[in-house]
Structure 1
Amino acid sequence: MSSIAKKRLNRELIGKFISFGIKLPKLNEAEQKQKIMEMNGMIDEMNKNDLDYVMSVTLFGDINELINHDKMTAENATLFFRNMGYFKLLFLITDESFDVSSLGDIFRRMIFKEKRRKEEKNEKLLIDLIECFLSMTMESETFPKDVYSYCVSSLLNVAQIKEENEEAQKEVEMALLALSNINKHCRVEKELYLNEVTEIIKYHQDHHNLTRLAYQSVWQFLGNRLDTDKSLNEVIVNELHFGKEAKRELEELSKCVNWKKEKENWKEQKEVSVMKRWINTISNMPLHYRTLKGKFDELICCLVKLCRASRNDEPELSDAIIKYFHRQVYLSIYDFSILESDILVLFLEDIQQSTLKKTISSESLELFLYISRGLEDDVQQKGTKEKALKREALEKFEEQGYEDIINSFRHMGKK
């Protein structure tokens, strides 16, 4: 289990948070605001398990009723959810309480109402509502197209702030974090974002003005778009150098982590959480190893090192890396160059790990057998070039001793 999973819930802090929430209906607007600010301070002290628990209780239904009956303003509602949504995305919490309680619908209505206001439109409130909705919801594809266009444009406007003071950086980080939660099923016209996103990434590469979470988030948003627009491949790989950037960020984050120390709160967990988000981004991009010769080699080496470093203390992170490599090898069966990497050695190490990780280990074992079968099969429909590559791959496989290992696994399976 990871250090986060091992940590017990802070019952005292959670109890205090819930008791404050129960008092909200009895307070006026100013008192509610003060109480919510205190609750946000409590969230700042929570770890992932604490926040996950808080989001599973019935507070959302109570807030739902308060807003519906005009007992909580839109400003106080955004104050309540903006900080919570930030940590929900940071910790990769997949809780659906926000949507189940109809709060998603309420926020949509508040966004529509503020967007259509002709006079005295509160742009700051509108941005905050958008950030709250996109960071809290699991159903980010439910907006009409014109509202999505407005959300993307508005958040990218915030993200283009160049000031490097802490307050400006946090505003940019919140905007890009919310933007990153627009999932790959949401079609966003390239004209709405590509120039702006490219500028944000290139400016950061030159000036390092973004936080690490903000930089990861803008890549995640761009990667989500790749699923429906393959033309972005050239921009991501060759113009913006995704492999190089992801490697550098993961190496820098890894230097900030004491793997042996149990991480007590979100500040200590943050670097690990951002690394997990990077692995998700890398995994979710439909980029295949065989199409990236020379482009991702250093990133692959970095991931292997990170997997080994995190194996004992952050197994969720190392398992995510192993699963990513599984998919890449399945997709690259006729590309022998992947056998030259340390990936297969990593699979062997995984198989030899504790039996507590039976699922991952069995997948690694099955992958070895898959590679062997794939290399041995005589595929008649393959051309001369493909057969030559396959023959070379099989020779490489045997040369590195993997065939003997596979035969021993097969022998063990017959017993």
Structure 2
Amino acid sequence: MECCNAEEQKHKIEELNEMMDETDRNIQILVFTKEMFNKIDKMIEEKNFSLENAILFLKNVGYCSAMKRIYGHAFCESLLNERFKKMIIEQEEKKEGKNESLLVDLCECFSLLNFYFISDELISICVPCLLKAASKKKESEEMQHEVEMALMALNYIDELFFIERELYLKEITEIIEHQRKNRNLTQLAYQSTWDFLIYRYRVDYSLEGEILNEMHLAREATKELEELTRNVDWKKKEEEMNKEEANAVLVICRWIQALSFFFENCLVWNEEYIELFSSIVQVSRAARDNYRDIGNKCISSLRNAAENCDVRVEDLLKSGTISAVSEEMQRRTVDDKIAFESLQFFSNVSYRLKEEERDEMEEAKRKATKRKVFEKLEEEGFEVIVISIHDIFNKRNRQIYTQLIMIVLLLILKA
């Protein structure tokens, strides 16, 4: 790069960006180092690398990192990180001649490449800036990509930071509302919008009303998962998929991970969850042969739902969740992880069925649900599951096998 002029650098960057899209995640982790970012900083300082070209390159590095879930401290610890911090603050403080486009680019690079977003001052600048960029309504392919980039950068802001609602809630709501009416966002951009909102819940539980009732998370996630699942030929191996299918699989994974977090932490039940559980079951069944990682994530998210005392066991039954987990445990190729998640699921269900209710009517309802669960497990052939898991765990993990027996004993207690 140092020996090239600006035009030659731009051409080389375009070639590098194409290579990065195809490069394995583990190789990228080895390449995206503190030394690399320091080298870029030095080249900018010595004017051997134009800022425009550096940003063009770094935006794609950040995008690839986000797409492939590459987390690390390389950029955070680099001199380039400090340069970008200073430039963002300087641009924001300008009374005249502020370069809005440059500020957006800097905020995108900074957010996508920072594993820890540690400055309240920078959050107060970057969040409104990225939301403004994400709110553009033009539907050209280039603009869609820019909006997607801004929303992914917004989503990458550390979820443990509390962000004042005034900085984002009105704008996020408007983006979601506009998408419902116009469908102008890519599926990845729309999922990133929800990702940002869902993970804000980690530090602001008062958001639950807006997320569930006003913006209808469960309904929207159900619709997106069903559409994405239809767009994938699940019989293909990963390497056989075209780019659209690979992107759909990526977005499905992101939805399942975000929903798993939400199921674990939500405090209020919503009837729309039944359809959402059904759509996760659909994904799990579709992915079980060639995409075991997705299947594992589905079972894990359903296990979190079963553990949550605000999720009704009856609705797990209605949605087909109990049948789906039973099916997973009976498969000959069931692995340790998914078997453990399934055991935890049934452990949670059995614990919930034993919970004491406040009055006789609720107790009668609990007993009826318990009987339905037991009948469903009998129908699914639960004794086959016991034998299957025994074959897997009897020698290697006595503790888990013992847990299984305890679960079975709890479930077969008379209602």
TM-score tier (shorter): 0.7 to 0.9
Q: Counterpart of 1:148 in structure 2: which amino acid?
A: I
Q: Counterpart of 2:255 in structure 1: which amino acid?
A: W
Stretch moving more, 319-328 or 75-84: 75-84
Stretch moving more, 304-313 or 324-333: 324-333
Q: Counterpart of 2:197 in structure 1: which amino acid?
A: L
> Equivalent residues in 2 for 1:136-155 (5 A)?
136-140=113-117, 142-143=118-119, 145-155=120-130
Task: Quickly say closer, same or farther: Cα 1:135–1:391, change in 2 above 3 A.
Answer: same
- In 2, the alpha carbon distance for the partners of 1:235 and 1:157 equals 21
The gaps in structure 2 that reach 5 residues or longer are: 391-400, 406-415
- In 1, the alpha carbon distance for the partners of 2:319 and 2:227 equals 22
1:213 to 182, 188, 197: 188
- Identity across aligned pairs (percent)? 35
- In 2, the alpha carbon distance for the partners of 1:103 and 1:400 equals 59
Is this contact kept in 2: 1:289–1:296, CA < 8 A? no
- In 1, the alpha carbon distance for the partners of 2:160 and 2:285 equals 33
- Equivalent residue number for residue 190 of structure 1: 165
Is this contact kept in 1: 2:34–2:77, CA < 8 A? no
Is this contact kept in 2: 1:204–1:210, CA < 8 A? yes
- Equivalent residue number for residue 76 of structure 1: 53
- Equivalent residue number for residue 319 of structure 2: 341
- In 1, the alpha carbon distance for the partners of 2:385 and 2:154 equals 49
Offset of residue 95 of structure 1: 4.2
2:340 to 362, 369, 379: 362
**1:393 correspondence with 2:369:** yes
- Equivalent residue number for residue 163 of structure 1: 138
Offset of residue 408 of structure 1: 7.5
- Equivalent residue number for residue 123 of structure 1: 100
| Count of residues in correspondence between the two structures | 384
Task: Quickly say closer, same or farther: Cα 1:139–1:79, change in 2 above 3 A.
Answer: same
The gaps in structure 1 that reach 5 residues or longer are: 1-23
Offset of residue 392 of structure 1: 3.2
- Equivalent residue number for residue 217 of structure 2: 242
Offset of residue 390 of structure 1: 3.7
- Equivalent residue number for residue 393 of structure 2: none
Task: Quickly say closer, same or farther: Cα 1:402–1:85, change in 2 above 3 A.
Answer: farther
- Equivalent residue number for residue 296 of structure 2: 319
Task: Quickly say closer, same or farther: Cα 1:52–1:75, change in 2 above 3 A.
Answer: farther
Query: Any idea what the Cα deviations from partners look like across 1:247-304, whole Å, max 9, x if unmatched?
Result: 1111111122111223447554111101111112212225768833412111111110
Is this contact kept in 2: 1:283–1:324, CA < 8 A? yes
Q: Counterpart of 2:331 in structure 1: which amino acid?
A: Q
Q: SS of 2:91's equivalent?
A: helix
- In 2, the alpha carbon distance for the partners of 1:318 and 1:74 equals 43
- Equivalent residue number for residue 40 of structure 2: 66
Offset of residue 117 of structure 1: 4.3
Q: SS of 1:257's equivalent?
A: coil
Offset of residue 60 of structure 1: 4.8
Task: Quickly say closer, same or farther: Cα 1:58–1:237, change in 2 above 3 A.
Answer: closer
Task: Quickly say closer, same or farther: Cα 1:60–1:373, change in 2 above 3 A.
Answer: closer
Q: Counterpart of 1:158 in structure 2: which amino acid?
A: A
> Equivalent residues in 2 for 1:197-346 (5 A)?
197-264=172-239, 266-285=243-262, 291-332=268-309, 335-337=312-314, 338-346=316-324
Query: Any idea what the Cα deviations from partners look like across 1:35-68, whole Å, max 9, x if unmatched?
Result: 2222112224x05xx2441232266513412313
Offset of residue 184 of structure 1: 2.0
Task: Quickly say closer, same or farther: Cα 1:286–1:204, change in 2 above 3 A.
Answer: same
TM-score, structure 2 length as denominator?
A: 0.82
Q: Counterpart of 2:324 in structure 1: which amino acid?
A: L
Q: SS of 1:400's equivalent?
A: helix
TM-score, structure 1 length as denominator?
A: 0.82
Task: Quickly say closer, same or farther: Cα 1:277–1:408, change in 2 above 3 A.
Answer: closer
Is this contact kept in 1: 2:10–2:53, CA < 8 A? yes
Task: Quickly say closer, same or farther: Cα 1:402–1:233, change in 2 above 3 A.
Answer: farther
Offset of residue 146 of structure 1: 3.0
- In 2, the alpha carbon distance for the partners of 1:399 and 1:312 equals 28
- What's the RMSD between the two structures over aligned residues? 2.9
- In 2, the alpha carbon distance for the partners of 1:26 and 1:77 equals 15
Task: Quickly say closer, same or farther: Cα 1:89–1:198, change in 2 above 3 A.
Answer: same
